[in-house]
Structures are given as C-alpha cells and as structure tokens.
Structure 1
Amino acid sequence: MEIQKMSNGHHDLSRDKSMESGFDALDNITEGETFLHDKSNGKIETHFTDFEGKTSFGMSIFNLSNAIMGSGILGLAYAMANTGIIVFVILLISIALLSAYSIHLLLKSAEVVGIRAYEQLGNHAFGTPGKILAACVVTMHNIGAMSTYLYIVKIELPHIIEGLMDLPANSHEWFVNGNYLIIIVSFMVILPLALMKRLGYLGYTSGFSLSCMVFFLISVIYKKFVTVCSVAHGNNATFLNESIYNSTADRCEAKFITANPQTAFTIPIMAFAFVCHPEVLPIYTELKNPSKKRMQKIANISILAMFVMYLLTAIFGYLTFYATVESELLKNYSIKDTLMLCVRLSVLVAVTLTVPVVLFPIRRAVLQILFPDKPFSWVRHISIAVCLLFVVNLLVIFVPNIRDIFGFIGATSAPSLIFILPGIFYICIIPKEQQPLKSRPKIQAMVFVTLGFIFMIMSVTFILVEWVNGKTPKGGH
C-alpha cells in the first residue's frame, strides 16, 4: 500500500519514514489527516494514512484467536451443566454470529472514515467525550482480563510446582507462594513481550499459546474415555464403580435442557467468550495488504476456530463430570495426575502469553488520551507497560475477591465492546446520504445496540443478586 498525505497537493512520504514511525504512527495522526479518498472509475476508495502493515494473514489469525481465547474456556463445561447441551449449543452459535457481525460494524466504520483505532472512532462519532469513553471501556475491560489471567497463574502455578517437585500440599516455601510467582512471571516473561513495538511480532507466541490450548483440549477429550463419573470432584475425587454408579445415575446423566438458579448467570458469561474487539483494529492496522474483506475473513476464521474449541471443551468436560463439574474445569482433575499436571502447565503458558496481546490496546488507549499528538517514544512505551503490570499485580495480590470485582467490570465493559459501541459508531459514522436511519442496516445496528443494553442490565442484575445472597459469581473471560 502506498502511503500518501495531503499537503498543498499530493505528496508521497518515503517508506523509510513510514516504517520509522512504526506501530504507534496511528496514535499521532490528527482528525483532519486520517484518510484520503481516491475517486476513480466512479468508486470511492479509502487510503489509510498510517504505516504499511507487515503482519501476515496467518499471524493475524493467531493474534486474534489468542485475543478471543480467555480463561472462560475453563468454565464452559460448568455453563453447559447449568443450561443443558441443546441450549448451550444454541447460545454459543448465536454469540459467535453476533460477535462476527459486531466486528463487521467496526470494520465498516473504519473503512468509511479511514481510521483503525477504537478511540479515534469514538472521537469521530462523538468528539472528545466519545474518545475518552472508548478508551476507558477498553482499558477497564482489558485490565480485568489481564487480572483474571494472572489470578490463574497465582492459583495454579504453586500446585504445578508442588506436583513437579513432589512437595506436600500448601507448602510454605517461598517459590510456591502465588504472590511471588505472579511478580516473577510478570516481569520475567510478560514484560519483555509487552515491550515489543508491534503487536504483529507476538504472532509466534500467540501460535504457541494456541497450541498449548489444543493440547488442553486433546487431554480433556482423552480423559472423557478413561474417567468414570465421580461422586466427589476436585483433588479428592473418588470414582464410581458400577453399583455406586447406578445409585447416582441422576448425577451422572447428561441433561439436554436444564434450568436452575445458576442458569441465568451463565448466559452473560458465555456472551463474553468472544470478546476480542479492542484487539481487532490494532491487528487490522498491522495487517499486510489490509482491506475490510481480508480482515473480516481473519475474524471469521478466528471465531470459527475458537467456537470449535469452546464447544468440544464444554461437551467433553461436561460428559466427564456431569453435575459435579466445577466452575473451573481443571479443579476436577487430581494434581497427582501427570498428564493433567502437564495440561495445567500448558494452560498457564497459554494465558501468560495472552497477557501481552491484551496489554497492547490498553497502552494504545492511554496514549490516545494522554499523548495524542506526541511522536513514538520508547520511554512512554516502556513506562506504560511497567505501570500497567504493576497495577495489575497489586490488584491480583491485594484484592481478595478479584473475580467479583472484575466480573462486575466485565458485565459493563464486555456488552459495550461487543454490542453498544460498535453499533453506535456505525449509526453515527455511516453517512445518512449513504444509509438513512430507516435503512435496514441501521435498524439492525439499533437492534444490536438495544440487545447490548439488555445484556448489560441482565448481567449487572445477576451479579448484584449473587452478591446480596452472599454467593460468588462463577467463571471468567
């Protein structure tokens, strides 16, 4: 793609200069310099004025798939147990399709105005308040996701070390202290990856992260065929023989449709399983030969791949433990099981390598708000990453019920990112001359926004009810 800029006529910028500006060149463009329209053969073609992307199609799929893949995959079997197989499959298909449609709205808006930054879309739609709102929602949601990932590291890594070193449970050695471990992992593994200038470079780690989750899925499927339904669950699981199995058939029978007090709460959790929208536009920015059609294809492939992984994990996890399945599937497996010990390690590697991908949009949002017109600076680039990891570590260490707090954040930010903001941006940005408010696409977008508000109200209500009743919300992103 040839990079152009309007300055007293058409003037070509050198490719060296564009590459020197790097990934954050997009942060420095002003509203009046965001795009050019080239009228040729009666068709308007948008030329983006940020730098030329160099990330391949495959690497972009890895990055977006890794952004979609969250810790919530561990809770999908529990969700199936509380909805039934048929309802779960219908919900998962619906959410996957809605997420793909949401990305279509984002990409269409970006195509019209030539902007590939979430915050700049908010700025174009509503001015500075829209820019600040989008940046705050992205920051809030991704900090919640990062905290959830590190919380898993804090809980699971000590068990893995105890298993590998054959230490007694709840050992008091410093190297099995979860608080120390998340600090070590954050600054020895996550920070170096987060300091990379471009998100595209993380395609290799994203690919490895996804391979770890494939290993997790294969192991869950294998365990289904070698495990008998358990009376208890977790690390003290005892397995049933035939006589006991007959007396507890109700607990070891698959339910196709079910309803209980937890059913309503699992629906919003599933709705958040495909949240990747803060990462879509940064990945689009770095895509080689970018186009809306090419990026939509990346999104569709990523969503389809994650849909298959989610569905298989939920089905085989549920059919292994049925009614006794835990809200986090790994808790059902013994820490003495060598295979599942390796699986726990692979899951930890996967969520750890996802954190840098999630951190990039937060840094983008901070730069958009605090330093919108400043050129790229390594000092700012590094400082923001260090500060973000420091804050997230403090939250994971000192907040006792971190899942409650970030469950509430997710209940407000996730519907905003999936439904509300993409729909509103689309309605405001697409010209009325091109699509009147009463046109079918904009009516669909309005319905989509309304659905987002319904999800938000429903999610917040469920969480508040759980808090009032003294129960802890289950699951995560």
Structure 2
Amino acid sequence: MGRNGANHSIQTVSEYEPIGEDEERTPLLPQGVQTRGSSFMSSAFNLMNAIMGSGILGLSYAMANTGTVGFSILLLMVASLAAYSIHLLLLLCDKTGINSYEALGEKAFSRPGKILVACTILIQNIGAMSSYLFILKTELPAAIIGFMSTDSETSGKWFENGVTLLILVTVIIVLPLALLPKIGFLGYTSSLAFLFMLFFTVVVVVKKWSIPCPLPINSTLSLSLNTSECTAQLFVISSKSAYAVPTMAFSFLCHTAVLPIYCELHRPTKKRMQRVTNVSIFLSFVVYLFSALFGYLTFYSHVGSELLLAYNTYLPRDILVMSVRLAILLAVLLTVPLIHFPARKAVLMLCRGEREFSWLSHILSCFFILTLVLLLAIFVPDIRNVFGVVGSTTSTCLLFVYPGMFFLRISSEPIRSFNSIGAVFLLVIGLIVGVLSLSVIIVSWVQGP
C-alpha cells in the first residue's frame, strides 16, 4: 500500500532493501512513492509547531513551583532527553526500514505492542487538542471583546459564549485543515504558528516592566501584596511541583509527528532528520525558557496555570497584550490540525489495519476525533488537569518509556553500548517520573484544594 496521506502504511523489513549497519542514506520507501517531499525548513516548522502549543502557557506556573534554577535544569534535561529519544527512534527506523511509531511497537511486541502504541498516541493527542481548544474557549471571547469599543453594549452577545465560538472556529478553520491528506501541506501554517509563539515570548519579556511588584490584590484597589513576594526563588519543592515535569514532557512531546515528517522530508536521511529535530527542539527550548522566566518574574508565586489569564487581570485593555492573546489563539488554532494528523492515523490503524486508503474512513475518523475533542474542551474544568494527567501518563510513555523499551527490544547492540545504556536510562526515568507525578496529582485531587 502506498504512503497515501494520513494512512501511512505499516511497512515491515521484508518490504525494503536491507540497510547496512554503517550506511547513511535515504530510507527506502515502497515502490511508486515519490521521493520529493517537504523542505528542511518546512519540516522544521512542522516539528516546532508539533512541539510548541498550549504547554507554553503552563511553564511559568511550573517555574513558580520548582524555582528558576530548578526549572532551568529540569527543562534542559527534558529537552535533551526528548532529542535523544528521537535519535533512538530514527536509529531504529534507519536500521529496520519501519516508518511509523505504531509499527515499531509491532516490531517489538507484535500486535499488542502496535495496539498499545496506537492507543497511547490517540489519548495523548486527544488530550493535547482538547487543551488547545480549552484555551480557545476561555480566551477567544475576551480577545474579541477586548478589541471592541468600551462604549458599545456587548452584554449577552453571541461572541461572549466561548462554546459557540469554539464550535464555529472548529468547523470553519480546524476541520478543513484536519481533512488535508498529507502533513507536509501544513508547513505554511506551522511557520505562522511559530512566529506567533515568538511574538508571545517577546511581549512577555517586555511586559515584565509594565506590571509593578508587589501586585495589587485587586486591579481596582490600591492595596498590594507583601514586597517579600517579589523575590524569585531558586529552588522550590511542594506538592504542586509534581505538575512541573509532566508539563515539560507535554510541552516537548513531538514524537508522534516525527516519523510522518521524516517520511515526507525531501532527501530523508537519519542525519538530516536529526538536524531538523535538533534545530526544532533548541529553538523551542529558548522560547520556552524566556517565556517561562519572564512570566514568572512578572507574577512570581501568583502566576496561574494559564499565563494569559494573569495578564487579563492586570492589563485588561492593553493593546499589546490583546494582540499577543490573539496571536497565541491563532498559534494554538493552527496547531490543532497538526496534532490531529497522528491521532487520525492511530484511529485508522486500530480500525482498518493495513487496508487501502479510503476517503470515507479518512473523513469519518476526522469527524469522530474532533467531536470527542470538542466535548472534552467544553467540559474540562482546569487546563492544569490536562497537563498533569496526560503529561504524567501518555507523554512520559511516548517521550521516555517507549523509545527506550523498543530500542532494547529491537536493536542488536550490546547492552553495554552507549545507546543501550541511554535506552535503559530513558526507560527508568520515564517510569519514575510518570508514577511519582501521577501519584502526587491523584493525592492532591483526593485532598482537595
């Protein structure tokens, strides 16, 4: 079966010519597939768009609960481990000729491995998309009202209803982009989304000096908080720290999109795709660090789990803040179709296996996923819950556990080799982080606020 649109076929080693151990070349594709694909920059923008999304709004909250130094160390570790785990995935693809995450699971653990990976990808991407649409639901009405004249009567208007706006933008913008058959088509929208994220970071840096510290308890009162709360903490450990690493894992997870992007890369080689990965993760790391740092230095311990809400409170009519709010909403909106791609691919693999591509199945799976994501976005009470639960379960599995586990299972390298030791480290780190974080989050829910 050809590599047609989202329904990438699961190829086995027997369908490819053998690749030498030390040979660096284009991975062989099924017969009839065109080798011309997405450019380096288009692929990099697609991967950055897959990395950067709603997670950027929760990182200042993560810094407030880990400290500036603690956060920086953790962020660097997660970014480095994300790049290394992608290296292991690409290495396996290069050695075996397999071109999908689900197929690696099947190669390692037969059909149960394939089903496990597909279900994990589906849950992860549904969680990610629901968090993006949750932000649209909460922020879009305020963004529209903010640009309207204060003299006009807006109470009770239809655009004040976040659910109504969410359904409209999903049908008008997200659905047509999600129906596109190939991920490479989204390169142009991905470049716009990254520029919007960059604009957000610049505004966060600039507005650090526009909001005084100590913060007023109420924007309409002169009463202020204690000046001792205007000191940045280097290290912080509390029950809320359990949300930090899962949020970072959630923010750097792009592994479900890596292999589809790799398949559509022009002149695809492991070395070339690794460069795409390194550039994307490095730029995302820089943007994440600056936005988290200056967001935290603006609000300190009073930063919320969704950074934009704090600016809405203290700078409600600021033109620059309103513009960056709109930019973030557009960036999040343009990211949803990209995250939808691997989710739809997982559904098709679970339901249709290796059957030929069908437009009917393509459209039905698209509608099913978007309907489910809409329902979650409408009824989820707090975005922190999405970051915490999804980050500590599916994100840690896809980012740490599965790459390490698959490499140890599939690779013929000795256990004492560098890559095998790295795979064991990824596996152990992922299990520890996931179990501890999820346990603390569940305990915090049971205990209440």
Taking structure 2 as the reference length, the TM-score comes to 0.92
In 2: Cα distance, 1:43 partner to 1:291 partner: 10
Q: Any idea what the Cα deviations from partners look like across 1:21-50, whole Å, max 9, x if unmatched?
A: 5335732x553644211669x959674224
Match of 1:61 in 2: 44
Larger CA deviation: 137-146 vs 398-407: 398-407
Larger CA deviation: 259-268 vs 199-208: 259-268
In 2: Cα distance, 1:231 partner to 1:238 partner: 11
Match of 2:289 in 1: 311
In 2: Cα distance, 1:370 partner to 1:324 partner: 46
In 2: Cα distance, 1:345 partner to 1:400 partner: 22
Match of 2:179 in 1: 195
Q: Any idea what the Cα deviations from partners look like across 1:348-376, whole Å, max 9, x if unmatched?
A: 00000000000000111112222222222
Q: Any idea what the Cα deviations from partners look like across 1:368-414, whole Å, max 9, x if unmatched?
A: 22222222222222221111111111222234456536632332101
**1:110–1:464: structure 2 CA closer, same or farther, 3 Å change rule?**
same
| Aligned ranges 1:280-359 → 2 under 5 Å | 280-333=258-311, 334-359=315-340
SS of residue paired to 2:18: strand
**1:339–1:56: structure 2 CA closer, same or farther, 3 Å change rule?**
same
Structure 2 counterpart of 1:318, which letter?
Answer: Y
Match of 1:181 among 165, 168, 171: 165
Match of 1:155 in 2: 138
Match of 1:459 in 2: 437
SS of residue paired to 1:23: coil
Structure 1 counterpart of 2:8, which letter?
Answer: L
Larger CA deviation: 80-89 vs 405-414: 405-414
Maintained 8 Å contact 2:246/2:396: no
Stretches of structure 1 lacking an aligned partner (at least 5 in a row): 1-16, 472-477
Which of 1 and 2 has greater Rg?
Answer: 1
Maintained 8 Å contact 2:50/2:257: yes
Stretches of structure 2 lacking an aligned partner (at least 5 in a row): none
In 1: Cα distance, 2:220 partner to 2:202 partner: 21
Q: Any idea what the Cα deviations from partners look like across 1:87-118, whole Å, max 9, x if unmatched?
A: 11111111111111110111111111101101
Q: Any idea what the Cα deviations from partners look like across 1:282-317, whole Å, max 9, x if unmatched?
A: 110110000111111111110000100011111111
In 2: Cα distance, 1:192 partner to 1:454 partner: 40
Structure 2 counterpart of 1:35, which letter?
Answer: Y
Match of 1:204 among 168, 178, 188: 188
**1:169–1:68: structure 2 CA closer, same or farther, 3 Å change rule?**
farther
In 1: Cα distance, 2:26 partner to 2:191 partner: 31
Maintained 8 Å contact 1:83/1:257: yes
RMSD after superposition: 2.4
Q: Any idea what the Cα deviations from partners look like across 1:164-216, whole Å, max 9, x if unmatched?
A: 22469993322221111111111100011111111011010000011111111
SS of residue paired to 2:58: helix
Match of 2:70 in 1: 87
SS of residue paired to 1:127: helix
Structure 1 counterpart of 2:198, which letter?
Answer: V
| Aligned ranges 1:373-388 → 2 under 5 Å | 373-388=354-369
Larger CA deviation: 391-400 vs 184-193: 391-400
Match of 1:7 in 2: none
Match of 2:210 among 196, 205, 226: 226
Match of 1:217 in 2: 201
Maintained 8 Å contact 1:154/1:182: yes
Maintained 8 Å contact 1:85/1:315: yes
Report how many residues are paired: 442
In 2: Cα distance, 1:238 partner to 1:31 partner: 67
Match of 1:123 in 2: 106
Q: Does 1:273 align with 2:251?
A: yes
In 2: Cα distance, 1:197 partner to 1:208 partner: 20
SS of residue paired to 2:414: coil
Match of 2:54 in 1: 71
Match of 1:5 in 2: none
Maintained 8 Å contact 2:85/2:400: yes
**1:400–1:215: structure 2 CA closer, same or farther, 3 Å change rule?**
closer
Structure 2 counterpart of 1:367, which letter?
Answer: L
**1:450–1:239: structure 2 CA closer, same or farther, 3 Å change rule?**
farther
Match of 2:128 among 131, 136, 145: 145
Q: Any idea what the Cα deviations from partners look like across 1:104-146, whole Å, max 9, x if unmatched?
A: 1111111111011011111111111000000000000000000
Taking structure 1 as the reference length, the TM-score comes to 0.87
- The percent identity for this pair of structures is 45
Structure 2 counterpart of 1:86, which letter?
Answer: V
Maintained 8 Å contact 1:70/1:351: yes
SS of residue paired to 2:17: strand
**1:218–1:148: structure 2 CA closer, same or farther, 3 Å change rule?**
same
Maintained 8 Å contact 2:24/2:271: no
Match of 2:28 in 1: 48
Maintained 8 Å contact 1:65/1:303: yes
